Amino acid sequence: MCRILVLLAAAVVFTLRAAADDRQFSVEMLDRIARPVIESLAEGKLKEGLPLARGEEKRAQWTHLEAFGRTMAGISPWLALGPDETPEGKLRERYIALSRKALVMATDPASPDRMNFSAGGQPLVDAAFLAQALLQAPEQLWAPLSDKGKSQVIAALKETRRITPAQNNWLLFAALVEAAIWKFTDELNLGPIQLALDKHEQWYLGDGTYGDGPQFHWDYYNSFVIQPAMLIVLDVCREKQHPLASRIPTITARATRYAAVQERLISPEGTYPVIGRSTAYRFGAFQHLATMAWRQKLPVGLSPAAVRCALTAVIRRTMEAPATFDKNGWLQMGAVGHQPSVAESYLSTGSLYLCLAGLVHLGLPADDPFWTAPAAPWTQQRIWAGSDISPDKALK
């Protein structure tokens, strides 16, 4: 009996330690990925330091804003927690300070790292990711800026108005930019917001999934862009008490269903189907599941601890693969490790930092039950272990 009690006690200690380790690992991975981008830009040296692989030279005018906007979209929920006296809180304090400097460097016309917000179509995409970051952490990223700094950020965002978005998920990039301008200046340009929401309502295909334009694509763009962006834009509509906020219940119900689907895509081993466009965004494919965890809108019956364990397993499987980083700590092209052949014509080193969007659940504080609950098996682990579980059901 004593031996059994000892073993049970050891098991409890292990699961509690594993829960703490999940957050520590996630923070360490955020730091490892984001550090080269944010430190370099804060010093005005991102254009000097960010590498481009062979064949990516044509992306040189866009890759820096890609790296910055995508990094900020991923780390901003964590930054929103603010500093505290823990080691993590002190690290976060440093990142908050560096991120503010980086914002100035990216938008000040006199900066050596002033970024391209208008030439070509790509700047709309990554200005939108930057807008997403500002909307996700306004008290840490926007409020402390000087009046001059705020004016420069808004001017940079407005430069993207010259770009006409394609009739697909790009409509939501224009909507995100306008939502940020609306929130921070009260200037409302409703057209892009209304169009993006209306078109995606037309493109809704059922069971929690939208088409990327009129057609369906087997990929992760519902997670990379579509569903998180709609939720963020509608947050601003609600804050501004605009009638568009009446769509929130319907959009949220669909988002909850898509989160259930995403969780079921994670295998017992922490792998997932690598399918469709932009596979080099790695675990950013699960931004939506992480977002719903952060918003505390996970499907009923889906354990937050199980989602934490599933997301952590995916991040480990992707980011611990050999040659994921180059010798200087920059990401290299690939879905798992270094796989140059997965590169599409629109990808470059800067593009790869969208993986950080898969860490938005770090916006939940360390003492939230999501992080503190003992480790739990996720759905596919339970199924393939022979557990008796309820059937999956489509959204009606």
CA dihedral 194, 200, 203, 208 (to 10 degrees): -150
Tokens 């790296």, residue located: 67
Q: Measuring CA to CA, how many Å separate 214 from each of 60, 110, 200, 203?
A: 31, 42, 9, 6
Structure tokens at 143: 């409020």
| pLDDT score, position 20 | 65
Average pLDDT over residues 86-111: 98
Tokens 């593009």, residue located: 351
Distance CA 175, CA 67 (A): 21
| pLDDT score, position 116 | 98
Answer yes or no: is 183 within a domain: yes
Query: Which residues form the domain of 325?
Result: 17-384
| pLDDT score, position 12 | 37
What pTM was estimated for this model as a whole? Answer: 0.94
DSSP category for residue 142? I
Confidence check: pLDDT of 376 > 90:
yes
Distance CA 107, CA 204 (A): 36
CA-based nearest residue to 207, from 150, 247, 253: 253
DSSP category for residue 382? H
Structure tokens at 52: 């481009």
Q: Measuring CA to CA, how many Å separate 112 from each of 97, 157, 284, 318, 369?
A: 19, 18, 29, 34, 44
Answer yes or no: is 21 within a domain: yes
Distance CA 126, CA 119 (A): 12
| pLDDT score, position 261 | 98
Average pLDDT over residues 90-117: 98
Contact 315, 358 (CB under 8 A): yes
Confidence check: pLDDT of 8 > 80:
no
Q: What angle do CA 24, 273, 224 make, to 5 degrees?
A: 65
Count of domains observed in the chain: 1
Q: What are phi and psi of 210, to 5 degrees?
A: -110, 150
Contact 363, 290 (CB under 8 A): no
Confidence check: pLDDT of 333 > 70:
yes
DSSP category for residue 209? E
Answer yes or no: is 393 within a domain: no
pLDDT digit string, tens, across residues 234-282: 999 999 999 999 999 999 999 999 999 999 999 999 999 999 999 999 9
Q: Can you give the CATH number for the domain in which 69 is found?
A: 1.50.10
Report the chain's C-alpha Rg in angstroms.
21
pLDDT digit string, tens, across residues 58-77: 999 999 999 999 999 999 99
Across 1-15, 27-41, 204-218, 310-324, least confident range: 1-15
Instruction: Catalogue the E-assigned strands of 35-93.
Output: none
Residues 6 or more apart whose CB falls under 8 angstroms from that of 25 comprise: 312, 315, 316
At residue 396 the predicted structure's pLDDT band, cuts being 50, 70 and 90, is: confident
CA-based nearest residue to 283, from 223, 365, 343: 223
pLDDT digit string, tens, across residues 111-160: 999 999 999 999 999 999 999 999 999 999 999 999 999 999 999 999 99
pLDDT digit string, tens, across residues 272-284: 999 999 999 999 9
Answer yes or no: is 311 within a domain: yes
Confidence check: pLDDT of 6 > 50:
no
Confidence check: pLDDT of 3 > 70:
no
Average pLDDT along the chain: 95
Amino acid symbol at 67: A
| pLDDT score, position 17 | 43
Average pLDDT over residues 2-23: 50
Answer yes or no: is 392 within a domain: no
Side-chain-side CA neighbours of residue 212 (13 Å): 17
